[in-house]
Amino acid sequence: MQVLVRDNNVEQALRVLKKKMQREGLFREMKARQAFEKPSERRVREKAEAVSRARKAARKQAQREGLLPGPKKKERGAPAGNDHR
């Protein structure tokens, strides 16, 4: 993984690096590797993750077919601080 530092702006480069690491799942993997996980616990966790993925896929498919309402859209109102009274 590589991040370029432009104009000696290390803070921005760190933010970009953290975002890339988050996207790649490195933080989640580091947390999982902090302690030993028994093989039985691993099987239980992986099965639960698979069930969760399957439910999410089924929910998205139902939304596409119109059986379920889609995700709620965030309303865009006036920007904060612009309430003229």
Of the candidates 51, 49, 52, 30, the residue with the CA atom closest to the CA atom of residue 41: 49
Q: Residue 39: its pLDDT value, please?
A: 95
Kindly list the distances between the CA atom of residue 31 and the CA atoms of 2, 34, 36, 40, 66, in Å, as whole numbers in the listed order. Answer: 22, 5, 11, 18, 38
Per-residue pLDDT of the chain (85 residues; tens, 9 = 90+): 888 899 999 999 999 999 999 999 999 899 989 999 999 999 999 999 999 999 999 999 999 998 888 878 877 766 666 666 5
pTM for the model stands at: 0.57
* DSSP notation for the chain: ------TT-HHHHHHHHHHHHHHHTHHHHHHHTTS---HHHHHHHHHHHHHHHHHHHHHHHHHHHTSS--PPPPP--SPTT----
Q: Residue 81: its pLDDT value, please?
A: 61
What is the domain partition of the chain in residue ranges? Answer: 1-35, 37-68
